[in-house]
């Protein structure tokens, strides 16, 4: 049977187990010196509730309070580090190239330093492309939580991550249609496979084939537009550079299909060919005997 008497120190002699007088004296001394309930429970092989029962009326000294405060701060820091999602170290892979391209063309990278709010996202009418974007983010940064919703015909997805946004901004100072936006140098000096992946994402987001069979893609960021023209040239795809769009010369259509092309399932989003597959329309105009005016323009140009 458990005894519930008090000794000269005012400590109860048991609460679930028996303590000797020497143990009770040591518990009291350690508590005054700032030992936590958890430390005492571990040291005396008992429950924290048992320790609390015995020392709840023992005052903690000034030095002890400082020790408890420092220990609590250290524990809080460890908890934050354990609970905070750490992004992976991003490598410049096909997925990373594709992600940056989608953020530049049909995406967004946003910072509000005043509110300490950071997010990036992507919008497209292709559920497959949005799903690919989500998978790429998971592969690159290890982020699994996101917001996704519909706006008109488009799917929009957003991720909130300061570290991911900071990483994206290392590759381009801006993801808006301004002079600061740029194709990352890692893409400009990459091998053919990565350059092709970047251009495919560009054409998936911005490209179309008009009713006259012109393969064109818009871009209003001047530096990015010039870099895009250079990337096409390096792949042997001849383009005409206009003020805010590129046009692939028909002689380069086969080369374009071979190295760039459109992702399967990507559709035209406007005009009379809305809903038709971009790759399907392009192959129509590449086939012998194709006529001008397959249907009225999928592009407003």
Domains in the chain (CATH in brackets) are: 21-83 (no CATH), 94-286 (3.10.28.10)
Flag whether pLDDT at 14 surpasses 50.
no
- Model confidence pLDDT, tens digit, residues 26-52: 989 999 999 988 888 888 888 888 888
User: Regarding predicted confidence, which is higher, 22 or 3?
Assistant: 22
Supply the mean pLDDT for the chain: 84
Half-sphere CA count of 142, side-chain side, radius 13 A: 9
Q: How far apart are CA 102 and CA 123, in angstroms?
A: 9
Question: Could you give the C-alpha distances from 8 to 22, 28, 33, 56, in angstroms and in order?
Answer: 12, 12, 19, 16
For the stretch 204-214, pLDDT in tens is 999 888 888 88
Q: CA nearest 90: which of 157, 165, 156?
A: 165
Strands (E), the chain: 107-112, 117-124, 147-151, 154-160, 207-209, 215-218, 239-241, 245-248
Q: What is the mean pLDDT of residues 11-17?
A: 50
HSE-CB at 279 with a 13 A cutoff on CA atoms is 11
Residues 104-157 have pLDDT tens digits of 999 999 988 777 788 999 999 899 999 999 999 999 999 988 999 888 888 999
C-alpha–C-alpha distance, residues 98 and 241, integer Å: 23
Average of per-residue pLDDT across 171-194: 92
Of 110, 114, 106, nearest in space to 266 by CA: 106
Residue 191 has what pLDDT? Answer: 93
Q: pLDDT value at position 7?
A: 47
In this predicted structure, what is the pLDDT of residue 300? 45
Closest to 165 measured CA to CA, from 109, 104, 125: 109
Confidence at residue 43, expressed as pLDDT on a 0 to 100 scale: 87
Q: Encoding tokens for residue 255?
A: 């080369």
């Amino acid at each position: 049977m458990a005894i519930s008497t008090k000794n000269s120190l005012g400590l109860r002699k048991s609460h679930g187990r028996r303590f000797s007088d020497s143990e009770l004296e040591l518990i009291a001394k350690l508590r005054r010196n700032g030992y936590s309930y958890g430390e005492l429970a571990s040291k005396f092989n008992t429950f924290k509730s048992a320790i609390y029962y015995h020392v709840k009326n023992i005052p903690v000294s000034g030095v002890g309070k400082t020790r408890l405060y420092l220990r609590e701060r250290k524990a809080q820091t460890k908890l934050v580090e354990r609970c905070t999602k750490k992004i992976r170290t991003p490598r410049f892979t096909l997925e990373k190239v594709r992600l940056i391209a989608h953020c530049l063309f049909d995406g967004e990278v946003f910072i509000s330093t005043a509110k300490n709010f950071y997010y990036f996202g992507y919008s497209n009418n292709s559920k497959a492309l949005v799903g690919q974007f989500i998978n790429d983010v998971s592969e690159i940064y290890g982020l699994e939580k996101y917001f996704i919703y519909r706006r008109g015909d488009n799917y929009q997805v957003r991720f909130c991550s300061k570290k991911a946004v900071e990483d994206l901004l290392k590759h381009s100072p801006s993801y808006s249609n301004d002079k600061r936006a740029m194709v990352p140098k890692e893409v400009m000096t990459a091998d053919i496979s990565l350059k092709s992946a970047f251009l495919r994402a560009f054409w998936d987001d911005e490209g179309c084939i008009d009713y006259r069979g012109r393969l064109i893609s818009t871009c209003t960021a001047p530096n990015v537009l010039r870099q895009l023209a250079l990337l096409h040239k390096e792949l042997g795809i001849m383009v005409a550079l206009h003020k805010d769009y590129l046009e692939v010369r028909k002689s380069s259509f086969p080369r374009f299909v071979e190295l760039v092309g459109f992702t399967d399932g990507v559709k035209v989003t406007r005009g009379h060919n809305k809903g038709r597959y971009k790759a399907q329309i392009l192959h129509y105009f590449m086939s012998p005997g194709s006529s001008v005016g397959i249907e009225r323009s999928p592009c407003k140009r």
